[in-house]
Amino acid sequence: MKITDLFNVKNKVAVVTGGSRGIGEMITAGFLANGVKVYITARKAPALLEKAKELSEKYEHECIPIPCDLSTKEGVEDFVNQIVNKENGIDFLINNAGAAWGEPFESFSEGGWDKVMDLNVKSLFFLTQKMKLLLTTNASLDDPSRVINIGSIDGLNVPALPTFSYSASKAAVHHLTRVLAAQLVKENILVNAIAPGPYPSNMLGAAVNHDYSEIEKRNPRKRVGTPEDIAGLVIFLCSRAGAYTVGETITSDGGIVKTASHNLS
């Protein structure tokens, strides 16, 4: 019952997609600081390699970069093959890489639809499918493997911006989480989702010119999310403490979804 046992993730192996910056970097930092070996992937190789080196040095734990484009099935297969060549099994798969697209309804493009749905939904499904064998290798009834899908509060609330495919993709991630959870719990792989609210990143920053002051003012907690907020939740879900939580979508948004006044009317 001690916290050091309940939340222990030491000596586990994790894969964090989109680990080169933003929320993926925050999750990776939390894992490394607590003794997890982490594979990170992103498309831009120089930034990814530099980030892996920086995080390995800072947390004195192994962070291994594998540059890959997960938006295609070939990219997904290539990435999985590279992991298979290095590990017999993995414990945690964090499906974090994602894309957003905003365009007025009247001119919303097919490219903006496909780019978002392909990466956020299709690739997440096929990566999980192809990682199953690796996850099963390390899974047992007492110590199940974990998959965490990063959704969004935009998949729960109606977003203010014209991000039609993004909000639909994140609602799909949340439901796919339940469907995958039902499929994989039989094999001791627990699937859950996290729906983040505003966290500083390239994705959110691009929408507000990297000025988060208005977002902070509107947030019930009067701030944006921090690495501790997201890493703490991921570690809970991956540890003994989270081993009876299955198919959930947990918000990490300072209270937007559950307390915003338009949801109470």
Ligand X SMILES: NC(=O)c1ccc[n+]([C@@H]2O[C@H](COP(=O)([O-])OP(=O)(O)OC[C@H]3O[C@@H](n4cnc5c(N)ncnc54)[C@H](OP(=O)(O)O)[C@@H]3O)[C@@H](O)[C@H]2O)c1
Specify the residue, 90 or 230, whose C-beta has the smaller distance to ligand X: 230
Shortest distance in whole angstroms from residue 18 CB to ligand X: 3
CB 135 within 8 A of CB 89: yes
Distance CA 119, CA 76 (A): 10
Specify the residue, 48 or 238, whose C-beta has the smaller distance to ligand X: 48
CB 120 within 8 A of CB 169: yes
Specify the residue, 17 or 165, whose C-beta has the smaller distance to ligand X: 17
Q: Choose among 69, 39, 36: nearest CA to 51.
A: 39
223 near ligand X, rule: CB under 6 A = no
178 near ligand X, rule: CB under 6 A = no
Radius of gyration of the chain (CA): 18
Quick note: the x/- pattern for ligand X over 46-65, rule CB under 6 A, is -x------------------
Quick note: the x/- pattern for ligand X over 6-35, rule CB under 6 A, is -----------xx-xxxxx-----------
Looking up tokens 């993004």, which residue turns up? 166
Distance CA 96, CA 163 (A): 18
Tell me which residues in 128-157 interact with ligand X (CB under 6 A): 150, 152
Specify the residue, 21 or 146, whose C-beta has the smaller distance to ligand X: 21
Query: Torsion angle of alpha carbons 253, 196, 248, 40, nearest 10°?
Result: -150
198 near ligand X, rule: CB under 6 A = yes
**What separation in angstroms does the CA of 69 have from each of 28, 44, 55, 149, 159?**
19, 9, 21, 18, 27
Tell me which residues in 103-122 interact with ligand X (CB under 6 A): 119
Query: Residue 16 — φ and ψ, nearest 5°?
Result: -120, 110
- Report the residue from 34, 96, 138, 249 that binds ligand X according to the rule CB under 6 A: 96
201 near ligand X, rule: CB under 6 A = yes
Q: Which residues of this chain interact with ligand X, rule CB under 6 A?
A: 17-18, 20-24, 41-44, 47, 68-71, 96-99, 119, 150, 152, 196, 198-199, 201-204
